[in-house]
Amino acid sequence: MKGKNTSQYKPSFYNLVIPLNEEKFILFNTLRNVVAKIDRETKEALETCSLERLDNEIITRMKETGIIVSKNLNELDYLKYLRMLHLMHIGSSPRVGVTLVMTYACNLACPYCYEGNKKTKEGLLTSKKIETILTFTKNHAQGDKKPLVHISFYGGEPLLNWKGCKYALKRLEEMKDNGEIQDYSTGFVTNGVLINEDVINAINEYNVYSMQITLDGPRDVHDKRRVKVNGEGTFDEIIENIKLLKNEVNNEKFHLGLRINVDKTNYKRIPELLDFLKSEGLNDLLISYGIVRNNIPYCSDCDALVFLGRDLPEYLPFLWKEAYKRGFKINTRPNIKLGYCVYDRPFGYVIDPELKVYPCWEMVGDDKYCIGRIKENGEFESEPLYYTTKSRNPLDFEECKSCKLLPICMGGCAAESIRRNGHPNGPGCDINKYIWKEGLKFYLMKRYPHLFKDEELKETLGMLPRGNNNILEFKLQRSGNTNGSENT
């Protein structure tokens, strides 16, 4: 039976469509995070707002999944409501996210580092200063509710101040045991050169849940980009340390991520790196490709070297494929996010060795972005800019309000907005703007290969997907109708 009483509904503004073939399409609703398969007839009914052409059963399911919504619903208000819930959740738990710039110093001198000459800044986060910061985090308690604390160890190179890192870990554990905080988690962003048994022991002993290490290509490429201050390469040391982590870490919650920074000068060589890692039995890592951007200090002519947004659909799927077919994990699915990053996150702080507070990793050390400082007694002294940064709201940006990708981008990067717009309160669109279609399709091909032809799978993934657990799971879901979906 065709749809009746459809006049009170409209297609969601956040519906996006990718062709599967001439007659079949993937429908992705960014607001509800729903993925569906539709045919041309359904697609046209949605695109022309001719809902009366749809079967009643389909209309019911589209209502359930937010593909069609009440004509009276302002979906932007709905997104505002979700974001409000999200912010309330952070505030009421309360959740405190602190990035500690353990030192600005770095043992490497990578040419593309966006910290530039900040690395010559002196100072360490000493035990005394860390104690001050921990008092500050502890002070976020809401009545009886003690804070949940996440610490990211960052730099410079954080392991140059290992003494400080270890002190922080030990004290966080004590604070948890004493009931001063609910719990804590930590992660490291490190170049991987200084990892040793002491670091491994700390990972096993404390709540260290993540570590990101960077490799930029096979040995000769990496050793030109990730160089020590004296010009020496670092590839072999880092590989040994990754093996050390793999073999000796027994903390089940720990995840090692491999960051590969790519631009036009090194992307063709990445498959060689992946081959090498595979040959060393290191192809079970989660890979993320970092897109080197033209925000490098002292580089006025980098456009020819870096990938611009419009370049990404051409290059990034190639890199995904090369990783996937060698067994690496790679995450490409665009997902709803209600906050973009630490910049506008309540209780999110980046704190440097002078106890100055910055809103974002990219802005550390730049006084014009300082949003406050931690006083010796652990109190926070804010600058007026603090309130400007923490109230950044992409749902107020005109360009974002009319963007179907807003739920999966959430306004993007404030630093990118400064580069583009001259101020942070505008769109700083992330890579999803350019690559969401390819990313979603790549993900679907891995997880639901039955939706695609074998030739297409081989071309995009480089192989037929491994295993069929997901297909089985999908079939079980369908037979149990947990998704409320089946072919009509």
Positions 188 through 227 that interact with other proteins (CB under 8 A): 189, 209-210, 212
DSSP secondary structure letters along 30-72: TTTTEEEEEEHHHHHHHHTT-GGGSBHHHHHHHHHHTSEEETT
Contacts of 479 (CB under 8 A, 6+ apart): none
3-state secondary structure of 100: strand
- The region of 121-129, 243-251, 254-262, 372-380 touching other proteins under the rule CB under 8 A is 254-262
d(CA 256, CA 196): 15
Sequential DSSP letters for 324-358: HTTT-EE-------S--SGGG-TTEEEE-TT-EEE
DSSP 430-471: -THHHHHHHHHHHHHHHH-GGGS-HHHHHHHHSSSPS-SHHH
Interface pick for other proteins out of 63, 145, 253, 466 (rule CB under 8 A)? 253
Q: Please identify which residue in 9, 61, 118, 266 interacts with other proteins, judged by CB under 8 A.
A: 61
- Binding residue for other proteins (CB under 8 A) from 338, 385, 395, 471? 338
Query: Judged by CB, which is closer to other proteins: 1, or 304?
Result: 1
82 binds other proteins (CB under 8 A): yes
Query: Please, which residue, 163 or 325, has the CB nearer to other proteins?
Result: 325
In this chain, which of 15, 65, 103, 191 binds other proteins, going by CB under 8 A?
65
- Asked if 41 interacts with other proteins (CB under 8 A), we say yes
Contact between 437 and other proteins per CB under 8 A: no
Q: Judged by CB under 8 A, does residue 55 bind other proteins? A: yes
Please pick, from the candidates 104, 112, 443, 452, the single residue that binds other proteins as defined by CB under 8 A: 443
Contact (Cβ atoms closer than 8 angstroms) between residue 364 and residue 114 = no
Segment near other proteins (CB under 8 A), from 133-141, 163-171, 364-372, 442-450?
Answer: 442-450
Interface positions, 351-410, toward other proteins (CB under 8 A): 360-362
d(CA 334, CA 430): 11
| CA separation for the pair 11, 6 (Å, rounded) | 11
Smallest separation, CB 148 to other proteins (Å): 7
Which residues in the 132-151 window bind other proteins by CB under 8 A?
148, 150
Q: Per CB under 8 A, does 460 bind other proteins?
A: no
DSSP one-letter code for 380? E
For residue 486 the two structure tokens come to 């089946």
Instruction: State the nearest-atom distance from the C-beta of 99 to other proteins, in Å.
Output: 8
Q: Which of 85, 109, 229, 476 binds other proteins (CB under 8 A)?
A: 85
Question: Which residues, in sequence order, are CB contacts of 58 under 8 Å at separation 6+?
Answer: 3, 42, 488
Of the candidate residues 13, 16, 18, 24, the single one contacting other proteins (CB under 8 A): 24
Question: β-strand 95-101 against 286-291: which pairing, if any?
Answer: unpaired
**Minimum gap (Å) between residue 340 Cβ and other proteins:** 7
> Could you give the 3-state DSSP secondary structure of residue 359?
coil
| Distance in Å, CB of 385 to other proteins, minimum | 19
Task: State in angstroms the smallest separation of the CB of 175 from other proteins.
Answer: 17
User: What letter represents residue 105's amino acid?
Assistant: A
**Residue 227, both tokens:** 């160089």
Q: Which of 51, 54, 159, 195 binds other proteins (CB under 8 A)?
A: 54
Q: 271 or 428: whose CB is closer to other proteins? A: 428
Which lies closer to other proteins via its Cβ, residue 66 or residue 353? 66
The whole-angstrom separation of Cα 451 and Cα 441 is 10
Verify binding: residue 254, other proteins, rule CB under 8 A.
no
Among 11, 155, 164, 187, binds other proteins (CB under 8 A): 187
Q: Is 330 in the site for other proteins (CB under 8 A)?
A: yes
We find the least distance from the C-beta atom of residue 182 to other proteins, in angstroms, to be: 11
- 284 sits near other proteins (criterion: CB under 8 A): no
171 binds other proteins (CB under 8 A): no
* Shortest distance, position 141 Cβ to other proteins, whole Å: 17
- What is the C-alpha to C-alpha distance for residues 56 and 54, in angstroms, rounded to an integer? 6
**Helix or strand (DSSP H, E) at 258:** strand 255-262
Which of positions 107-136 make contact with other proteins (CB under 8 A)? none
431 near other proteins, judged by CB under 8 A = yes
Q: Does 291 contact other proteins by CB under 8 A?
A: yes
Pick one of 159, 342, 418, 461: the residue that binds other proteins (CB under 8 A). 342
Phi and psi at residue 472, to the nearest 5°: -60, -45
If one asks whether residue 324 binds other proteins (CB under 8 A), the answer comes out as no
332 is a contact residue toward other proteins (CB under 8 A): yes
Q: Say how many residues touch other proteins, by CB under 8 A.
A: 80
Give the DSSP per-residue string, 146-210.
Answer: PPEEEEEEESS-GGGGHHHHHHHHHHHHHHHHTTSSSEEEEEEE--STT--HHHHHHHHHTTEEE
